[in-house]
Amino acid sequence: MTRLISVGVMWIILILLPWWLPMIGGYTALGSKVLIYAIATMGLNLVLGFTGGLSFGQAAYFGLGAYGAGMTLKYLALSTPLAILIGTLVGGLAATILGPLVMRRRGIYFAMITIAIGQLFYFVMVRWNNVTGGEDGLAGFGRQDIHLGPAVIPISSSGDAFYYLVLLGFTVAVAIMWVILQSPLGHTWVAIRENRRRMEFLGIRVERYVWAAFAIAGFITAFAGTLNAMLFNFTSPQDLHWILSGNFVIMIILGGMRSFFGPLIGVIIFVVAQDYLSSVTGNWMTFIGMIFVCIVLLFPRGVLGIFNRRAEAI
């Protein structure tokens, strides 16, 4: 009951965010960015926190989703739903196709091959100047209003309207991930994380389950990338760089990698701290590092993990 009340309060806070966030010095676009990064990190957490694979290349699928959406709007059709669909498919299918390359690897080898794949896509976007804009990034596109019969959702001109589109996407993504984790597939992922060798002895094709986690995480992260491209009406090779992948991992660890909503808490801490500190000092990364070290030392299971631990004790 306590957990249901907490989730209900969280959703009320998110729904009312465009009203209360400006009162404390924030802005709606910051809330949109938090939810977008939360979708990406919660998707990555299917691999990292629930399956036990450390991926340092997840930004590749985030960036592919962003470029897929941006190039659809710029070169193909002025349709927001189509851009989201194509961007999600581009990033998700890339993860699905490349999954067999990583599903048999473990530990540092898993991490290294994912980062190599991510950097491969990064350099493709940097060198393909005529289409992607190279190092300058892809510009010249913008999110389009959504037409539902006679009704029009003005996301092109209203930051609040786009925020609610992002919130809808976040809700759908969270519901899908929750259902998957409560299914036999999700329980198998957790069993692989806890004792992979025992699962192999039981005759479970562990590699296929790791592949499934990697592919599903790719689709979810690519979906987040499409929304990120529309938030800024711009995307660049930095959206595929391994540094962003590392930031995703940091956000998950901050919030708690074995908690479902842990990545959301980590994203809030990281993004809000980054937004505030970068407006105060150019050396903001140092303070982000100090915050990360303090949380890891004081809360080894993440911020949300400490609350889950207390609940288990009770």
197, pLDDT greater than 60: yes
3-state secondary structure the chain: CHHHHHHHHHHHHHHCHHHHCHHHCCCHHHHHHHHHHHHHHHHHHHHHCCCCCCCCCCHHHHHHHHHHHHHHHHHHCCCHHHHHHHHHHHHHHHHHHHHHHHCCCCHHHHHHHHHHHHHHHHHHHHHCHHHHCHHHCECCCCCCCEEECCEEECCCCCHHHHHHHHHHHHHHHHHHHHHHHHCHHHHHHHHHHHCHHHHHHCCCCHHHHHHHHHHHHHHHHHHHHHHHHHHHCCECHHHHCHHHHHHHHHHHHHHCCCCCCHHHHHHHHHHHHHHHHHHHCCCHHHHHHHHHHHHHHHCCCCHHHHHHHHHHHC
Q: Model pTM?
A: 0.94
**Residue-level pLDDT at 25:** 83
- Quick: pLDDT tens for 77-112: 999 999 999 999 999 999 999 999 888 888 888 989
> How does residue 313 score in pLDDT terms, banded at 50, 70 and 90?
very low
* Domain ranges for the chain: 28-242
- Quick: pLDDT tens for 204-246: 999 999 999 999 999 999 999 999 999 999 999 999 999 999 9
